[in-house]
Structure 1
Amino acid sequence: MAAGYILNLKFHRSWYNWPVNLSSLWIGLLAGAFGGLVGLGGGIIAVPLMSAFLKLSQHQAVATSLVMVVFTGLVGALTYATQGTVDWLAALLIFPSAMLTANWGARFANRLPEWKLKRVFGWYLVVVALSLILKPYIPHVEEPLQGWLRIIPLVFTGAAAGFASGLLGVGGGTITVPIMVLLVGLEQHTAQGTSLLAMVPSALVGSYTHYRHGNLAQAHVPGLVVGILVGAFAGGLVANQLPEFWLRLTFSVVLIWTALRYVGTKPKPAPKEASLEP
């Protein structure tokens, strides 16, 4: 069962390696803080940092990021639920399609060479950056869908978010939140809380699929999880005291700069064959 694999992860000796856990901890703190400041999951920051500083492959970074998403989604959803800003029915409608496509996304990721996966991740960062910049200008729909028609966008947005989650190691909130606000008619905070809850099962399925392919960097999980939880909490506290416009603009610039590096990724040249001439 996918739900049991996290509890049964093999405990490596490196879990008790303080240099390993400390390097993972600061990455988790930074990813969580940035995510908490702008209301996004930490995956879009954690994946590039793990690739750059922990020297993980893109596939390993994606797999390990999804474990973080499980924990941040649980804690974040619980926080929103205590304030009554989680639509449980909407989350339940998102679950099935998101879980199904998260498995597909993870499988598809493992069929891609690393340079192609990095390019896809880079374009996703561009989309996230643009969504942050344009967020204040998105019109609110006065007459959202009613009744059973609300099921359609929830199922489709769950499918899209789940595939992106399994493929890229992100929560998918950039996809689900706008749809829930624009078409389903949820308030912004309720959409965010519902999105956090909805991303947990898909991230669990996606991380399990990657785990079966041997991509999970288990040694870094403890530090990353602790770091991102603390960082997200701290970022959320500070966010209300900082100007939202400059937060979004700064974060968007960082994302676009990172995206340009990923989009420009090229395949590694094939090694030259040894000459057979004497």
Structure 2
Amino acid sequence: MTLLQFFLDIALGLLLGALGGLFGIGGGLLAIPALGLLFGLDQQLAQGTALVMVVPNVLLALWRYHQRNRIDWRHALLLGLSSFALAWVGAAVAVGLDAEAMRRGFVGFLLALAAWNLIQAFLRAGSASSELGRPWPWLGVLGGGSGLVGGLFGVGGAVVATPILTLVFGVSQVVAQGLALALAAPSTAVALATYGMHGQVDWATGLPLAIGGLLSIGWGVRLAHALPQRLLRVLFTLFLLLCAGLLGFKA
């Protein structure tokens, strides 16, 4: 890797980190299609490499969200443990699947989430709260399902948990994003370890991305707390569509 390439990777990490902080997802969703298009990585290798950036980004973003909007650590622990328990299953399955089938499945997954979020943006407006609208043990079910999907697609499960927390549990977008980061922290770590053990991580590319992400993720968190909730949700939907479009164009 040349010095120029190193700094270009850091610059890309800056962009991905800011978006990850804004949407509470660690930047992996956009990193995966970007790594496929810009670096020619196949789906599994792109997912594993993106996790090098996502793991530290998620941890820092979780702390930043907690500073601005206190997270109940009992809820965070339940989400994290249940997610961790099933994330390795999804990651272990993913490394053995056909790369092209994974890409198509990931595009469909993103489009479904985008449609769901668009409906949410105009559903039950004004009812969001900082308190859970469902009994907290249900967070264990959410954590397990999100961890499984997150391990399979290398996105940490936060992107799955966020819309469910807003629609089903009735919390605001920023509260949902903070809780989703708590869910994502252990599952992303176990997913990275699994991809690494199977040789599906490009560390030389992932490490400068991680440096850039750590430098910028706080900017995104500040912006997330400054934007109106409906606008933030619509932007999240557009972000999902962008990621699906980028990945869909990859031949």
In the superposition, the TM-score normalised over structure 2's length comes to 0.83
Task: Kindly indicate whether residue 130 of structure 2 is the aligned counterpart of residue 145 of structure 1.
Answer: no
Shift of 1:107: 1.2
1:198-243 residue CA offsets vs partner (Å, 9 max, x unmatched): 2111000011001000011111122111212233223344556677
Residues 60-79 of structure 1 correspond to what in structure 2 (within 5 A)? 60-79=45-64
**Farther off after superposition, 233-242 or 38-47:** 233-242
Q: Are the structure 2 counterparts of residues 94 and 27 from structure 1 closer, same or farther at C-alpha, using a change threshold of 3 Å?
A: same
Between Structure 1 and Structure 2, how many residues are aligned?
A: 247
In structure 2, do the counterparts of structure 1 residues 98 and 248 end up closer, same or farther at CA, with 3 Å as the change threshold?
closer
Q: What is the alpha-carbon distance in structure 1 between the residues aligned to residue 107 and residue 39 of structure 2? A: 19
CA contact (8 A) 1:77 1:86 kept: no
Measured in 1, the distance between the counterparts of 2:100 and 2:69 equals 43
* CA RMSD of superposed structures (Å): 2.9
Counterpart of 1:93, as a letter, is L
Are 2:212 and 1:223 aligned? Answer: no
Contact 1:125 1:259 in 2 (8 A): yes
**1:97 aligns to 2:82 (yes or no):** yes
The answer for the alignment partner of 1:160 in structure 2 is 145
Q: Secondary structure at the match of 2:95?
A: helix
| Letter matched to residue 31 of structure 2 | A
Q: Distance in 1 between matches of 2:158 and 2:145?
A: 11
CA deviations 1:85-139 (Å, max 9, x no partner) are 2121112112232112211111111121110010111112213322442332233
Q: Which one is further off, 35-44 or 158-167?
A: 35-44
Alignment of 1:196 with 2:181, yes or no, is yes
What are the equivalent positions in structure 2 for 1:129-140 lying under 5 Å apart? 129-139=114-124, 140=127
Q: Aligned AA for 1:159? A: G
Q: Percent identity?
A: 31
Residues 86-125 of structure 1 mapped to structure 2, 5 A cutoff? 86-125=71-110
Q: Secondary structure in 1 aligned to 2:133?
A: coil
Distance (Å, rounded) in 2 between the aligned partners of 1:254 and 1:74: 21
Displacement, 1:264? 7.5
Does the 8 Å contact 2:128/2:171 carry over to 1? no
How far apart, in 2, do the equivalents of 1:70 and 1:209 lie? 13
- Extract unaligned runs of 5+ from structure 1: 1-13, 267-278
Task: Determine the C-alpha separation between the residues in 1 that align with 2:154 and 2:19.
Answer: 16
Q: Which runs of 5+ in 2 are unaligned?
A: none
Q: Greater CA radius of gyration, 1 or 2?
A: 1
1:82 to 56, 59, 67: 67
Quickly say closer, same or farther: Cα 1:237–1:66, change in 2 above 3 A: same
**CA distance, structure 2, for counterparts of residue 18 and residue 134 of structure 1:** 45
